[in-house]
Structure formats: C-alpha cells, structure tokens
C-alpha cells in the first residue's frame, strides 16, 4: 500500500480556517465598533435634541410665568381700581346726604343755643355746646328727634354756665344718625 501523508493537507485546512476565523473576528469587532459608535452618536443626538426641547419649554414656561405675574398685577390693579371707584361712588352718593344732614342739624339748632364741638363716630353723634336756658336744650333735643335724620337724642351732661346769662348752661349730648337705608326700612 502506498503511503499517503494527509497531515499537511489538514494542517493547511486548519491554517485556512484560523485565518478565516481571525478575519471574521476582526470584521465582527469592526462591525461591533461601528454599531457602538453609531448607537453612541444616536444617543448623543437624542440627548442634545431633548435638551434643546427642554430649553425651549423652559423659555416658554418663563414667558408664561411672566404673563401670569402680569395678569396677577393687572387683577390687583383692577381690584384696587374697583375699590377706589366704590369709595368714590359711596362719597358721591353720600354727598347729598351729608348736606341734608347738616341742613337738618342747622334747622334743629334753636336761637340761643350754640354748638361748640360736634363729633361723628360711625352713626353716633356727640355734641358739646352752650344754651341760654335749659328750655333751649330741651327744644334742641325735640327738634333733633323730629328732623328724621337723628334719633334717640340723649343728654349726658348739663352744667350751669353764667357766660350766657343767669339761666345759661353748657351741655353734652349724644344722638344716633339715621342712615337713608334705615329711614327707608322704617317707612316700609
């Protein structure tokens, strides 16, 4: 039988497979590196795009916050303006009432009676004055009550005062100022 040596052929085949394996291994490594680089680049692009969107959203949120603050300021100014308008309207409404009140008060003061001090606190009226006699003080109280603008006149102090004559006196009095609304309710 002839002697055939198959070892070199196997050795060459083994060498060829090893080279192919190394080529495939290097190719896979290069391909893996390229895929990794592409993935990393894609992630970086996605992150930068998201950061740009976040920056845009933050800028828009800041604009909206400024707008909301401006709207709040405008609401506060509107509220202040409405309050001022209501005060002015109240003053305009009360102007004739105050004139009527002082007119009725002046008509209620009889001759020989002098009011030295008048103080209004809410709807309470405090008076201090002098009169030629106690009858004049009584007449003053009746006239205040009959005027319709004042209610419950109450004499709190009467002292003899000779500066207006032998029957002269100084007095202190309180009364309740009737509002137009109260007056209207009483008539109904």
Give the 3-state DSSP-derived string for 52-73, with helices as H, strands as E and coil as C.
HHHHHHHHHHHHHHHHHHHHHH
* pLDDT recorded at residue 5: 62
How far is 152 from 175, CA to CA, in rounded Å? 5
Under a CB-based contact definition with an 8 Å cutoff, are residues 153 and 138 in contact? no
Which residue spans within 36-168 are E strands per DSSP?
A: 113-121, 124-131, 150-160
CB count within 10 Å of CB 133 equals 16
pTM of the model: 0.49
**Edge-to-edge strands, sheet with 124-131:** 113-121, 124-131, 169-177, 150-160
* pLDDT recorded at residue 45: 96
How far is 157 from 161, CA to CA, in rounded Å? 12
Under a CB-based contact definition with an 8 Å cutoff, are residues 174 and 124 in contact? yes
Strands 169-177 and 124-131: antiparallel
pLDDT per position as a tens digit, 72-93: 999 999 999 999 999 888 778 7
Under a CB-based contact definition with an 8 Å cutoff, are residues 159 and 169 in contact? yes
Domains of the chain (ranges, CATH numbers): 109-187 (3.30.1360.100)
Backbone angles phi, psi at 118, to 5 degrees: -135, 130
Tell me the three state secondary structure of residue 165.
coil
Helix or strand (DSSP H, E) at 176: strand 169-177
* pLDDT recorded at residue 148: 80
How far is 169 from 134, CA to CA, in rounded Å? 7
Residues of the chain with pLDDT below 70 are: 1-7, 94, 180-188
DSSP state of 152: E
Sign of CA dihedral 142, 146, 148, 152: positive
């Amino acid at each position: 039988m002839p002697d055939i040596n198959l070892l070199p052929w196997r050795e060459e085949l083994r060498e060829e497979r090893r080279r192919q394996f190394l080529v495939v291994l290097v190719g896979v490594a290069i391909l893996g590196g390229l895929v990794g680089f592409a993935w990393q680049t894609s992630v970086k692009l996605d992150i930068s795009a998201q950061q740009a969107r976040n920056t845009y959203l933050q800028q828009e949120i800041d604009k909206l916050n400024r707008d909301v603050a401006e709207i709040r300021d405008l609401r506060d100014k509107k509220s202040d303006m409405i309050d001022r308008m209501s005060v002015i309207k109240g003053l305009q409404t009360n102007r004739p009432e105050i004139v009527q009140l002082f007119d009725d008060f002046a008509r209620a003061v009889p001759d020989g009676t002098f009011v030295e001090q008048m103080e209004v606190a809410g709807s309470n009226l405090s008076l201090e004055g002098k009169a030629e006699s106690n009858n004049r003080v009584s007449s003053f109280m009746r006239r205040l009550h009959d005027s319709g603008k004042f209610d419950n006149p109450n004499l709190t102090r009467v002292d003899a005062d000779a500066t207006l004559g032998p029957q002269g006196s100084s007095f202190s009095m309180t009364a309740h100022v009737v509002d137009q609304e109260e007056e209207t309710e009483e008539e109904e």
